[in-house]
Copies of this chain bind each other. A is one copy, B any other.
Amino acid sequence: MLVEQSIPPLPEGFTLQRITNEDYDKGALRVLEQLTVVGEVSKESFETYVSEQSDKHITITIKDPNGEIVGISTLLIETKLIHGFSKVGHVEDVAVDKSMRGSKIGLSMLKYLTNLAIENGCYKVILDCDEKNVGFYEKCGFSRAGVEMQYR
C-alpha cells in the first residue's frame, strides 16, 4: 500500500487548484510552451479540454499571487485488471514557468498528484521523462522503472 507524503508548502500567496476555463487567459498555454510544442489552441478547444476533466483526468495549476499560472501538470488514473483490479496513476506534462525554476513548486505539484493517485487507490504512479530530468523526479520519490518507447 502506498503512503501519502507531505507536500512542500507553496510560496506565500501561491495557490494550487484544478484547471478552469479562465486559465486560458492566465498563462496555461504559455507555461506548457516551455515544455513542448503547443501550437494553436482555440479558447473553444481549451474549454472542451476543461469540460472533459473527470475523476480520472485531472489537470492542476499553480498560480502566483497575481493569479498568473506558473505551473501546470496532469494526472490520468487508469483502471487495470492486473494487481487485483487496481489502478495506476500516470503523471503527464509537468511544466514550470522559467521564472520559478529552482523553487519547489514542481515538487509540490508532483507530491500533490502522487497523493491524489494514492487516495484514488493507485498501486503505483508512473511518468515518462527525458534522461536529463531523472534527477528531479528522483527528488520527488520516483525511481527508474523501464524504457519509454514511441511511435510517431
**Interface on A for B, CB 8 Å cutoff?**
2, 28-29, 32, 35-42, 45-46, 48-49, 52, 57, 59, 76, 78-85, 90, 92-93, 114, 123-131, 134, 137-138, 140-152
Which B residues are in CB contact (< 8 Å) with A90?
Answer: 78, 90
* Given A36-B83, A38-B83, A80-B93: A2 touches B151 (CB 8 Å cut-off): yes
From B52, B128, B142, B151, give the contact of A79 (CB < 8 A). B52
Copies of the chain in the assembly: 2
Most chain-B CB neighbours within 10 Å: which of A40, A123, A126, A140? Answer: A126
- On whether the beta carbons of A81 and B28 are closer than 8 Å, the reply is yes
Q: How far is the CB of A138 from chain B (nearest CB, A)?
A: 8
From B32, B84, B134, B147, give the contact of A81 (CB < 8 A). B32
Report how far A58 CA is from B66 CA in the complex, Å.
42
Most chain-B CB neighbours within 10 Å: which of A42, A142, A151? Answer: A151
- On whether the beta carbons of A49 and B146 are closer than 8 Å, the reply is no
Report how far A142 CA is from B35 CA in the complex, Å.
23
Q: 18 additional contacts, CB 8 Å, given A49-B81, A144-B149, A147-B147?
A: A2-B151, A28-B81, A29-B81, A38-B81, A38-B82, A38-B84, A45-B85, A46-B81, A57-B78, A78-B92, A82-B93, A125-B151, A126-B151, A128-B145, A134-B147, A137-B149, A144-B148, A145-B149
Q: How far is the CB of A79 from chain B (nearest CB, A)?
A: 6
Which B residues are in CB contact (< 8 Å) with A123?
Answer: 152
